[in-house]
């Protein structure tokens, strides 16, 4: 049986992906910061639920070792852990900045580095990095989040060169708006008490409303399963609602694009 290792599997895309894979005969390593709170995934004997915080290297090493000890190998790594910070740049503390980048980008790099030796040894494996349409275009008050997702895009592209000689594939999944708690529990909104306040509030309210109207997270899990089963996966998979904005962003003059986005999001 093949094994998939997923970060951020406590809810949303990560949990849905774990459920899809185990239902199709895979062994699943579902990692999360607080596994003691998980009651559903632990009921299946082919799912190993482990503690992992991508900002703590010791938990990464322990989880990878436990996965190898239990299942013998890791065929697919899904880097899904992350959260969403919105607000005006001036409003962020240094802790806000470091936490966002450490979780969404540096943490992803740490987990990839920990898993790679096992894949390289076997000359086989797939690494699927969860990016976003936010890694392809920009919208207001999300400068930190965009910085991390553009970083994930560049890291993954470069890694494709690096790992191809070893038979390891890499892919980016770039969701549009998905109906998960990403716009609730996983969103950190820093609301300033200054002249940015009305702008940030308007965009935040738009994002929360849009999240409730987003695509089902299962479509992302299905896309990841398609990548896992593909002999020659593509580098990028753009999927879900609102992805139409990516090609529009590429062809419109910047000033017109900014005008339209502000009208829609901050009206």
Instruction: Give the count of domains, the chain.
Output: 1
Residue 114 sits in a domain whose CATH number is: 3.40.50.720
With bands split at pLDDT 50, 70 and 90, how would you rate the model's confidence at 212? low
Q: What is the pLDDT of residue 114?
A: 99
Residue 175 in contact with residue 132, Cβ under 8 Å?
yes
pLDDT in tens, 146-160: 999 999 999 999 999
Q: What is the pLDDT of residue 211?
A: 64
Q: How far is CA 133 from the centre of its chain?
A: 11
Between residues 201 and 155, which one has the greater pLDDT?
155
Annotation says 145 is catalytic:
yes
Segments in the chain forming alpha helices (H) = 12-23, 57-71, 94-101, 107-122, 143-163, 197-212, 218-229, 245-251, 254-265
* Positive or negative torsion for Cα 85, 87, 89, 94: negative
Q: How far is CA 82 from the centre of its chain?
A: 6
pLDDT in tens, 168-196: 999 999 998 877 665 555 568 887 778 88
Residue 81 in contact with residue 55, Cβ under 8 Å?
no
Q: What is the pLDDT of residue 183?
A: 53
pLDDT in tens, 6-59: 999 999 999 999 999 999 999 999 999 999 998 889 889 999 999 999 999 999
Domain membership of residue 178 as a residue range: 3-265
Q: Of 2-6, 70-74, 88-92, 112-116, which gets the smallest average pLDDT?
A: 88-92
Q: Which of 132, 149, 183, 241 is catalytic?
A: 149
CA angle (247, 103, 182) in 5-degree steps: 60
CA angle (59, 4, 7) in 5-degree steps: 40
Alpha-carbon distance of 135 to 124, in angstroms, equals 27
Annotation says 149 is catalytic:
yes
Q: Which of 118, 145, 237, 257 is catalytic?
A: 145
Q: Say if residue 210's pLDDT is above 90.
A: no
Between residues 180 and 137, which one has the greater pLDDT?
137
Q: Which of 16, 91, 131, 132 is catalytic?
A: 131
Rg (CA), the chain: 18
């Amino acid at each position: 049986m093949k094994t998939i290792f997923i970060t951020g599997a406590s809810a949303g895309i990560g949990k849905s992906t774990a459920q899809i894979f185990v239902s199709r005969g895979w062994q699943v390593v579902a990692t999360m910061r607080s596994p003691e709170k998980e009651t559903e995934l632990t009921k299946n004997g082919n799912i190993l639920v482990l503690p992992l915080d991508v900002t703590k290297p010791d938990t990464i090493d322990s989880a990878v070792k436990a996965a190898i000890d239990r299942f013998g190998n890791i065929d697919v790594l899904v880097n899904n852990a992350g959260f969403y910070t919105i607000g005006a740049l001036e409003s962020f503390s240094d802790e806000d900045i470091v936490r966002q980048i450490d979780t969404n980008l540096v943490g992803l790099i740490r987990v990839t580095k920990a898993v790679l030796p096992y894949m390289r040894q076997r000359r086989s494996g797939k690494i699927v990095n969860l990016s976003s349409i936010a890694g392809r275009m920009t919208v207001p008050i999300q400068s930190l989040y965009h910085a991390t997702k553009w970083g994930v895009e560049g890291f993954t592209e470069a890694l494709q060169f690096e790992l191809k000689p070893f038979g390891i594939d890499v892919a980016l999944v770039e969701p549009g708006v998905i109906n998960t708690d990403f716009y609730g529990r996983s969103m950190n909104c820093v609301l300033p008490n200054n002249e940015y306040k009305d702008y940030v509030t308007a965009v935040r309210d738009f994002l929360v409303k849009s999240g409730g109207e987003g695509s089902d997270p299962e479509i992302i899990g299905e896309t990841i399963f398609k990548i896992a089963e593909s002999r020659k996966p593509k580098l990028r998979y753009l999927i879900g609602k609102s992805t139409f904005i990516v090609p529009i962003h590429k062809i419109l003059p910047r000033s017109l694009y900014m005008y339209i986005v502000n009208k829609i999001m901050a009206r």
